[in-house]
C-alpha cells in the first residue's frame, strides 16, 4: 500500500479582486507556503478578470480547482477571494469534502454589509456551511479597505466560526499569515490524531 503519510496537504489560495490583485496577493501565498513548510502544497491560480470579477465564473473556477485536488483540501481566500469562497461553499458549488476554510479580510456581502451582485451570502449562511468544515476568519484592526465590522457580521452569521481580530495589521495582514499557518497546522494535527482506545471492558 502507498504511504499516504508522505502526501502533501493540498491548499487552494484564492486571491482578491482589483487591478494587480494577483501580484499583490502572491506575497501572501508565498508567506503561507514558507510558514507551512514542505508538507503542504499551496496553489495560487490567477483568477479570471481580476480587475472586474464575475462571481459565477470564479465559483466555477474554484469548483474545478478543488475537484482536481480531491477530498481533504484546504481552501484559503483573501478579500474578494474569501467572500466568493465562503459563498461557493454555502451554495454547495464545491462537491468535495474540505478539511478547512480560512478566510482573510473578507468583505461581508449581505444584510448590514456591502451589496455586490453575485457575492451576496445567503441569509441562512450558518445552515449552509457543512457542519464538518472548520471555518476561520481573520482581519486586521487597521484594515484600510474592509471595515473591521465586517468580521463581526460573519461572526454573527456563523456563530461556530473561529474569529481572529489582529491588532496592528492591515488589509494584507502586513503580508504575514503566521496565524493562518498556525491554525492550519493545529487543525490538521487534531484531524489526524489517532482515536483514543475504547474504555469499554471486553
Average pLDDT over residues 79-84: 98
Rg over alpha carbons for the chain, rounded to the nearest Å, is: 17
Percent of the chain with pLDDT over 90: 87
| 78 φ/ψ angles, rounded to the nearest 5 degrees | -120, 135
Identify each DSSP E strand in 22-181 by its residue range: 40-43, 73-78, 98-104, 135-140, 162-166
pLDDT at 107 > cutoff 90: yes
**Alpha carbon of 33 to those of 17, 153, 175: distances in Å?**
21, 29, 12
For 177, how many CA atoms within 13 A lie in the half-sphere containing its CB? 29
So what's the pLDDT on residue 191? 83
Quote the cell numbers at residue 108: 461581508
pLDDT at 195 > cutoff 80: no
pLDDT band at 16 (very low <50, low <70, confident <90, very high): very high
CA dihedral 27, 138, 154, 108 (to 10 degrees): -30
The residues, any chain, with a CB within 8 Å of residue 83's CB and separated by 6 or more, are 77, 103, 106, 107, 108, 109, 119, 121
User: Which DSSP symbol is given to 114?
Assistant: B
pLDDT at 104 > cutoff 50: yes
Average pLDDT over residues 44-69: 96
Cα of 139 vs its chain's centroid, Å: 12
Burial of 165 (0-12, 13-18, 19+ CB in 10 A): middle
82-95, pLDDT tens digit by residue?
Answer: 999 999 999 999 99
pLDDT at 11 > cutoff 70: yes
Quote the cell numbers at residue 188: 490538521
pLDDT band at 118 (very low <50, low <70, confident <90, very high): confident
Mean pLDDT, the chain, rounded, equals 92
What CA–CA distance (Å, rounded) separates 140 from 72?
28
So what's the pLDDT on residue 202? 37
* 163 vs 194 pLDDT, higher one: 163
pLDDT at 198 > cutoff 90: no
pLDDT at 151 > cutoff 50: yes
**Could you give all domains of the chain from N- to C-terminal order, each with its CATH number?**
7-107+117-190 (3.40.50.1820)
Residue with cell 468583505: 107
pLDDT band at 14 (very low <50, low <70, confident <90, very high): very high
pLDDT at 131 > cutoff 70: yes
**Which of 167, 172, 202, 169 shows the shortest CA–CA distance to 32?**
172
Amino acid at each position: 500500500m502507498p504511504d499516504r503519510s508522505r502526501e502533501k496537504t493540498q491548499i487552494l489560495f484564492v486571491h482578491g479582486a482589483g487591478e494587480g490583485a494577483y501580484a499583490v496577493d502572491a506575497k501572501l501565498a508565498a508567506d503561507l507556503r514558507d510558514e507551512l513548510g514542505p508538507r503542504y502544497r499551496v496553489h495560487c491560480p490567477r483568477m479570471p478578470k481580476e480587475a472586474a470579477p464575475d462571481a459565477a465564473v470564479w465559483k466555477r473556477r474554484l469548483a474545478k480547482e478543488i475537484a482536481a485536488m480531491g477530498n481533504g483540501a484546504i481552501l484559503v481566500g483573501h478579500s474578494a477571494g474569501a467572500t466568493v469562497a465562503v459563498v461557493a461553499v454555502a451554495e454547495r458549488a464545491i462537491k468535495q469534502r474540505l478539511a478547512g476554510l480560512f478566510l482573510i479580510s473578507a468583505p461581508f456581502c449581505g444584510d448590514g454589509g456591502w451589496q455586490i451582485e453575485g457575492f451576496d451570502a445567503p441569509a441562512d449562511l450558518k445552515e449552509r456551511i457543512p457542519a464538518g468544515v472548520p471555518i476561520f476568519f481573520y482581519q486586521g484592526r487597521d484594515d484600510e479597505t474592509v471595515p473591521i465590522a465586517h468580521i463581526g457580521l460573519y461572526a454573527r452569521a456563523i456563530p461556530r466560526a473561529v474569529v481572529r481580530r489582529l491588532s496592528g495589521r492591515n488589509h494584507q495582514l502586513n503580508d504575514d499569515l503566521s496565524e493562518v499557518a498556525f491554525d492550519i497546522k493545529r487543525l490538521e494535527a487534531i484531524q489526524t490524531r489517532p482515536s483514543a482506545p475504547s474504555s469499554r471492558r471486553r
